[in-house]
Structures are given as structure tokens and as C-alpha cells.
Structure 1
Amino acid sequence: MTNIKTYNAISQKGLAYLNAHHYDINGQEEPKGILLRSQNLHNEVIPSSVRAVVRAGAGFNNIPVDTLSKRGVAVFNTPGGNANAVKELTIAALILAARPVVGAIGFANETRGGDVSLRTEVNKGGYRGTELAGKTLGVIGLGNVGSKVANTALALDMDVIGYDPGLNANTAWRIDRHIKHAKTVEEVLRQSDYVTVHIPLTDKNKYFIGGESIKLMKPDAALLNFSRGGIVDDLAAKSALDQDQLRVYITDFADEALFDHPKVIITPHIGGSTVEAEDMSALMAARQLDNYLTTGNIVNSVNYPDIDEPFTTKYRVGIIHDNVPNMIGQISTFFGDKNINIEQLSNRAVGDYAYTLVAINDFTIDQQEYVKVALDSIPHVILTRRYVNDNF
């Protein structure tokens, strides 16, 4: 049985799927795949046997993607698996930013003696808030989460302005036509009463919202971060709060510098922590892992291009290689010179890497033995794998 190593508490939905498809979970054999949530793999030794790493969640900054890419290890995430959960908590945070609910609860619980009902009624004026309706929400990042937040805020009668340079025809359909699209982040920051950020964390966008960005915001604006720790410069946010350049900051990522600040609300990274989200993310992760290990199909990879084709031949050869000229020509020529007929060839590239999936029917044992070694010896080929269709 193929062994899969897991980290963290993975939902039984995902584990049950792997068990049903004849995988061994945390067995004795060297693992072919890793399934995890928040474990920091930067500090782990990843065995050479590993072909794929899948995170049951959207972020992947806990995985050494660059190192694994050079090894030919596909890295996957599960975008959208927890999108509704994060959306709902973001909307809850918007309400907390508009209404001093946290402080009001504390006040109500501390009221003791006499006519409690009368005393709380008399003093409730200190917890007067504002309504979200008619206010402007700025959404930075209109992906799986951001688009849901934007649409829901619109249903709450907010004016919504969004920014996402990666928006295209395939993703724009998710966004209500009444949402205004900004051309720059600065436009969103200047116009919004509330700003919420929903972008992945990369090496290039750490502290995407920093001191200079916050200075562009209205002094009575609220800032929300339910994307990733490091997207917002917490120290810059704290400084802005102290200088009344920002009204409130709500984040799902704990930072000791923010502890006990009266204008900060921190939740302990629970954006995706619902039963439904954990089930959905784990099941997506298990399916993507099984699909890749058994068919060579790549879906929701963060380091290699997606190719998802029906497996209609007896064999497939998957070739991960650098995105450089003449690779398809070299691969096609190789198979032709070996008198191996190609039934179908798929190729896609993203960034520095490309993936070629070759479908074959006639593939003798002798041919199979030398094809991998020969293809791996072609310059710029990173790794070659063979797949067998057991249902053929």
C-alpha cells in the first residue's frame, strides 16, 4: 500500500477517502505523499520518496515550495475549501468593528448589585456603535474568500470597492456587478471606512499593508486581516492606533505586540476552523493527492501548472521540467525515436516550470525500464514518472 504521512489533526473525511482508495496512513513504508494543515515543514526533513505535499487549507507559507519545486515535488493547496468559514468570521469582525460588542459583554458581566437591569440600561450609551449599511468596505483580493466577503457586504447594504490585479474573465463572474473595481490599492485605502485583506502571503508582499499604506486610510477606519500573519505590519498598525490614525484593528493572527491593546481584537487563527471547512478541505486534499499519485493529473498546484485530463490510455508519462524552449520537441522526438506512439500530449507552463503529460497505449516492459532514465537525462528535465491505468 502507498504510505501517506500526515501532520496535525486531519478531518476523518479526508482520511476515510484515502483509506477507501487503499492508502496506508502513517505506515512503515517511506511516504509517497504528505498531508498537513499548519505544520511548519521548513523545519522538517522531507524524505526523497515524497512525490507530493498537500495542505488542507489555502495558505502554503509553511511549506518550502521553492526547494520542493527543484526536487520535482508537486505542492497543492485547497483554495475555496474554507472560504465560506473565513467569510463568515470576516463578516462577524466587521460587526465587531462597527459595534463595541466585546466591551459591552464585559460591562454586562461586571455589573453587580442592585437593579442590574436598570444599571445596564442607564449605562448602555457608552457602547453605542454605528451601522454597516451605507459605509464603504474595501476588499483587497477578490479570490475565493474576498469575493464572498464583497458579495455578502453588498447584501448588508454596504458600498463595496475591490482591488485584485489578478482578476480575469474566469474569476470575475463570482463578483456582483454592483461592486466597484479599483485600479490601485491606494484608491481602496483612501475611500474605505473598513478595509479587509484577502491575499496569500509571499516573499514579495510581506507587510503589504504597512505604515505608509495605513496613513492613506481614513483616521476613523477599521482594518481587518483574516488572510495571513505578515500581510499587515502589526507594529505599524499599533502605532497608527496609538496616534488615532486608525480606529480599530482586528486580526486572526496573534502577535504579542498587540496584546491588551484597547483598539485591537485578536482571534487565534480560527478563520477556517469550522467542522464543515475542515471536512471540505481534507476531502479536497485527499482527492487531489490521489489524483496526482495515480493519474499524474495536477489540480490546485501552487508550484506547477494544472493539467486535468481523462486517463483514457493504458499508460501515462508525466514529465516535470523547466519552462524553456524546445522541451516539447525533445520529448516528442525521444518517443518517436524509440518507436513509442503518443496517443495524446498535454503541456502547460507557469513561471519557471512546465509539465508535460504523455498518453501511451503500447509500452513494453523493456521500454518502460529505460524511458525514465533516458528522459531524466534530457537537460532541464527535473523528474519523470510513469502511471498505469488499472481500469484500462
Structure 2
Amino acid sequence: MYQVKTFNAIADKGLNTFTNDYTINQEKNPDAYLIRSVNLLKVQFPKSLKVIARAGAGVNNIPLKEATDDGIAVFNTPGSNANAVKELVISMMIATSRKVFAAYDYSYQNIHADISKQVEYDKAKFNGTELFGKNILVIGLGNVGSLVANEAVNLGMNVSGYDPYLSADSAWKINNRVHRLTNLYQALKNADYVTIHVPKNKETTGLISTKEIAAMKNNAILFNYSRLGIVDNQAVVDNFNKIQFYCTDFGDDVIANNKKVITTPHIGGSTIEAEDNGAIKAANTIMNFLENGDTVNSINLPSMKLPFNAPYRFTIMHRNVPNMVGQITTFLANAHVNINNMANAAKNEIAYTIIDVDNLNYEKQLLQQMAEIPEVKRARLINHR
């Protein structure tokens, strides 16, 4: 029986995904954490913990180094809220272009007055523009960016994309009418709308700042629905003579109380459907890891999925150094264990080895020998169900 501890409110559809081999929040020694936005950066993990799965894309609330050092696999659920974010971005593009927020404020303030004639006179103040035929730049063409780009094509926009790290899988998702650019400053030059969909890291922090804003077209509208800090908010405030509106999902004192800033309270992925999707994917990820050792969508381990056709499976999380596989297979050979199948892959400094075996002798001794190798973070034995 596997034990799962949840944090935050996890959608029932996700919790109901677990089979009868799992109990939820009933034991003090969990095998898995299923989380959303809870801050785990200062949490001490129990020795029983093997996997953390976040129902969402970002993992900046998880201490990856500490988890890795403790032999804990960390996962997210990329794409589970992509459609929700796409719809919010498109709706904000329409709302800002048509001056919906200003028009609402006007109507709200005058709702009780007989203003029929005044409305006819004042509505010219709210003349907007259409998206059709306008130029949009999508920075980052992953799960969300590709959907935004494709939807913009459907709306009749001229769509350009900038993503120096575009993967082959993501490229297949993108409409062939999206023009891919390789120079950010050239890409910014003609865009009426600029929307950013990249993960936050050292390279993307401050990706849009003073120099980039200077390269933008006058009266462009800028959208940040990725993470706080990817856009330099101070640079935005200092250059509102250049930018028509700045729409973001992340509040900040720097941009507070500014009529050119439209801030939503981090609701990009906050739909019932997105929360269901994330919870279901996270639950399946936990089960696939605990029962099969699969590491698809892992943040700190290489992505591996090996058919499990043997009676037993060893999974070993270890440092990416020479002779690790040799040491492990030597232990198995000395115990007269026949290897049925195996795979090894690395992600930066961490490697992961899967070994399927037909027979097993002295399994506790073997696991102890593997675990005592200094470079090993965690060794597990899984019985084929």
C-alpha cells in the first residue's frame, strides 16, 4: 500500500484517479506528495518520501537540489493548464484592444443616470481596434505559447514566434503560418502585441527590459502570463510612453495603481478543467513512478519509460559519474541474478538506471549494497504487479 500526502485543495477527479493500492492523508510516512502551490522550500522531507508531483507547470516552490540530494523524484504536469492560460491571454488581448475595462468603468459610474444621449457622444472615447490583420509576437512556443500562436492565426493575425529552445515535439504543434524568428530585437520591431510564455530561470529573468522595450513598436500591448520577473516591471513603468497597456497575472508594488497596467490575480490556470487536468496527470505520474519507475515529465531526472515485462525492477537514482552501472551490475552478477532488460540515462549531474531481472536472491542485501555506493541517492526494488 502506497501513502500519498496532499497539500492545497486537490481536485476530486485527481484524488479519485488513485487505485485501491493508495491511501490519501492517512499515514505519517508518505511515499508521495501531491501539491499545487504550497511553499516547500524550507520543509524537511521524511525519509519515506520518494516522489513529489505538482499539479501545474512551475516548480519554483520546490527545493530541487534538496529533493534530489534526498533521492526524491520531482515532477510537474506541463500542458495541464495550457488551454486555460491561452483563453485568458486571448480574452485580455480582445479586452484591451476594445477598451472593455474603460468602457465598463464608464458604464458602472453612470448606470443610474439617463445618459442615452451622453453615451452616444462619449462612446467615441472607447473606439478600439480589431485583432484581425494585426501583428503578434509570441515569445516561447511551448505548451501555452503554441496554443496562443495557433489561436492568433485562427483570428486572422500575422503571427511571429521567437523561441531559441524550441523542441521538436513543440514544433509539431505549431501552425505552419507562424513565422519563426531568430533575433529577438528584430521580432519585437513590428509587433502590435507581445506575449511571453517561457519558464523562469536565469536566462529569462528580465528577458523584457529597457533595451527590449526600446525595440518595440510604439503603442504595443505587452502580456506577461508566465512568471513574475520575466518582465522588468520598473522598465515597463519607465517606458509607458512606448507601451499602450501592460497586462500581467502577477501583482507587484512597482506597477500598482497605474491605469496602463491591467493585473489579474494569478488566475491563468484557475479553471475547473485545468485543476482537474493537473490533478489527474499528477496522480497518474505518481502511480507510474512508484509502480513502474517511469520518469516522464520529471524535473530532476532524465525522462525514461521502459516496458516492465520482468518479475522485478531495480531503479537507481545516482550521480552521473563513470562506472556506476558497472558497480551495480557486478552486485547482481555476484548474486547470480539474470538481467532481463536495462536502461540508463542522465540529466545534467544526475543519472537514473532501470534494471529488470528474472530472478532474485538476497534482495535486501542487494538493495543495501546499491544504496551504500557513495554516489547513489536512492535505490528501489519494484515487484511487477
Tell me whether the two structures share a fold, i.e. TM-score over 0.5.
Answer: yes
Q: Does 1:381 align with 2:376?
A: yes
> Which residue matches 1:72?
71
The runs of 5 or more residues in structure 2 that have no matched partner are none
Choose the corresponding residue for 1:252, options 233, 249, 265.
Answer: 249
What is the identity, as a one-letter code, of the residue corresponding to 1:41? Answer: L
Q: Which amino acid aligns with 2:27?
A: Q
Deviations 1:41-63 (A, max 9, x none): 11322222211111100111111
Give 1:372's aligned residue. 367
Is 2:284 the partner of 1:287? yes
Alpha-carbon spacing, 1:276–1:113, altered in 2? closer, same or farther (3 Å): closer
**Alpha-carbon separation, structure 2, partners of 1:203 and 1:332:** 38
Aligned counterpart, 1:22: 21
| Equivalent of 1:305 in 295, 302, 306 | 302
1:174-198 C-alpha deviation (Å, 9 max, x unpaired): 0011111111322322231111111
Conserved in 2, the CA contact under 8 Å of 1:61 and 1:202? no
Cα deviation for residue 114 of structure 1 reads: 5.4
SS at match of 2:339: coil
Shift, 1:73, TM fit = 0.7
Normalising by structure 2, what TM-score?
0.96
- Structure 2: distance between partners of 1:198 and 1:114: 43
Equivalent residues in 2 for 1:1-392, closer than 5 Å: 1-18=1-18, 20-112=19-111, 115-241=114-240, 244-364=241-361, 367-390=362-385
Structure 1 SS opposite 2:318 = strand
Q: 2:41, 2:383 → 1: CA distance?
A: 33
CA RMSD of aligned residues (A): 1.5
Question: Whole-Å Cα distance in 2 between the matches of residues 344 and 77 of structure 1?
Answer: 28
Distance 1:96 1:331 in 2: 60
Deviation at 1:269, TM superposition (A): 0.6
SS at match of 2:47: coil
In 2, the alpha carbon distance for the partners of 1:102 and 1:4 equals: 44
- Name the amino acid aligned to 1:351: N
Q: Is the 8 A contact 1:315 1:360 kept in 2?
A: yes
- Aligned equivalents of 2:314, 2:190: Cα separation in 1: 52
Aligned length: 385
Closer, same or farther: CA 333–187 of 1 in aligned 2, 3 Å: farther
1:115: Cα distance to partner? 3.4
Whole-Å Cα distance in 1 between the matches of residues 253 and 302 of structure 2?
39
Please state how far the C-alpha of 1:121 moved relative to its aligned partner. Answer: 2.1
Shift of 1:348: 1.5
Q: How far did 1:327 drift?
A: 2.5
Closer, same or farther in 2 for the Cα pair 1:113/1:353, shift >3 Å? closer
Report the secondary structure of 1:42's partner residue: coil
- TM-score normalised by the chain length of structure 1: 0.94
Q: CA deviation at 1:297?
A: 1.1
Q: Retained in 2: the 8 A contact 1:84–1:148? A: yes
Q: Is the 8 A contact 1:51 1:72 kept in 2?
A: yes
Matched letter for residue 370 of structure 1: Q
**Contact 2:146–2:170 (Cα < 8 Å) also in 1:** no
Deviates more, 1:77-86 or 1:216-225: 216-225
Q: Structure 1 unaligned runs (5+)?
A: none
